[in-house]
Amino acid sequence: MTLPLFPTSLVGSYSQPDWLIDKAKLKGRFPPRTRAQELWRVAPEFLAEAKQDAVRLAVEDQVNAGLDIITDGEACRESYSNHFATALNGVDIDNPGQALDRSGEPVPVPRITGAISRKHPVSVEEVKYLRTLTDRPIKFTVPGPFTMSQQAQNDWYDSPAAAAMDYAAAVREEIADLFAAGADVIQLDEPYMQARPEAAEEYGVAALNAALEGAAGPTCVHICFGYAMLIHERPQGYSFLPQLADACCQQISIETAQSSLDCSVLTSLPAQTILLGVIDLSTTEVETPETIVARVERALPYIDKERVVLAPDCGMKYLPRDVSLAKLESMVEAARRLRSQYS
């Protein structure tokens, strides 16, 4: 996988079309942990085809904007995690449990009633389809084992650490199949490492490394402060980030734009490539390339330019599609200017 200096990528999700998903319902709740079929606007008999159409639109927008690494925009999902977390053995999805969201609100979650394991490949066909749509490198996202263990009611395991390790085994099997299906990069989403740093310190990195063990290609871990449209207050620093230096991933995705992150923390991650969040997702205002260049340059005293990938802070799921496209175009122009200046 050959990339230019300052390559560009989504973190994961892109704006889903209004004809596919009910944005008002989506924004009126936290990301669903259990299945939420009521979010879809398309009749069940047409939904699979509609989802593929939405993936194609997401890819077209990314290619037209000029991104170097392409995702499926998570167009087929209700949330970043529930598609995988509800497809496993050991989970009772008909009788959900309850757990606290990172905001402290109780929400319905999968209830663990047996040993967690993977029934079958969950997203292989989605990767195969994405591979047909572009010749550019493709990235695919999977919820991380620690985050899934925090988004479940554990009625089976003696400890949350044991649950996380079985989630890790399921994720490891999925990663192997996704690389075999044509993915160039696999990203694990672990936002709950930031939300629950003590538990992440205790067993989160061990579960993460167990999931990444033997991966056939580059892997990335995304850690963030939550969707900006839902969680408005941002800390100025991470509660859990330097610890990921011990993770066996090659890339780490962080947010810096909305939070105005103190980028000196990057000195604690001397080896991994950093997906640097430079697009603020709390506003529909489209940043100028100059603003994005300035955000990147805040980080450059602390990281080699060859280890920087430009990306949004987090998923773009909640933004209008025209706004997301304009933000990506501005980011790509910023990358072009940075290459010209620093090559």
Do the beta carbons of residue 110 and residue 34 sit within 8 Å?
Answer: yes
**pLDDT score, position 237:** 80
Q: What is the pLDDT of residue 194?
A: 92
Task: Dig out the tokens for 234 from the structure.
Answer: 């941002």
Residue 10 forms part of a structural domain: no
Q: Look up the pTM and report it.
A: 0.95
Report the pLDDT value the prediction gives residue 202, as an integer from 0 to 100.
Answer: 96
d(CA 240, CA 225): 11
Q: Are the C-beta atoms of residues 342 and 75 closer than 8 Å to each other? A: no
How many Å apart are CA 343 and CA 67, to the nearest integer?
19
pLDDT of residue 27: 83
Q: What angle do CA 223, 226, 230 make, to 5 degrees?
A: 165
Q: Say what the pLDDT of residue 47 is.
A: 97
| CA–CA–CA angle 110, 111, 114 (5° rounding) | 120
Sheet architecture: strand order including 106-118: 88-100, 106-118, 153-154
**CA of residue 285 relative to chain centroid, distance:** 22
pLDDT given for residue 66 in this prediction: 98
| Structural domain for 299, as ranges | 23-342
Sheet containing 251-255: order of strands = 139-143, 185-189, 219-222, 251-255, 273-279, 308-312
Is 276 among the domain residues?
Answer: yes
Domain assignment present for 232: yes
Distance CA 109, CA 81 (A): 11
What's the pLDDT at 105? 82
Whether 17 maps to a domain, the answer reads no
Q: Which residues of the chain have pLDDT under 50?
A: none
- What is the four-CA torsion angle of 81, 84, 85, 86, rounded to 10 degrees? 120
Please tell me whether residue 219 adopts helix, strand or coil conformation: strand
CA distance 236 to 232: 13
Classified as helix, coil or strand, 186 is: strand
Residue 181 maps to a domain: yes
Instruction: For residue 8, tell me if it sits in a domain.
Output: no
Note whether 191 and 147 are within 8 A (CB).
yes
pLDDT at res. 255: 94
Q: What pLDDT does residue 231 have?
A: 64
Residue 16, domain member (yes or no): no
- Report if residue 140 sits inside a domain: yes
What's the pLDDT score for residue 57?
A: 98
Q: What is the number of residues in the chain?
A: 343
- Residue 100 is predicted with a pLDDT of 85
Q: How many domains does the chain have?
A: 1
- The single-letter code of the amino acid at 64 is N
> Can you list the positions of beta strands (E) in the chain?
88-100, 106-118, 139-143, 153-154, 185-189, 219-222, 251-255, 273-279, 308-312
- Output the domain CATH number for residue 226: 3.20.20.210
Asked if 330 and 29 count as a contact pair (C-beta separation under 8 A), the reply is: no
pLDDT score of 132: 98
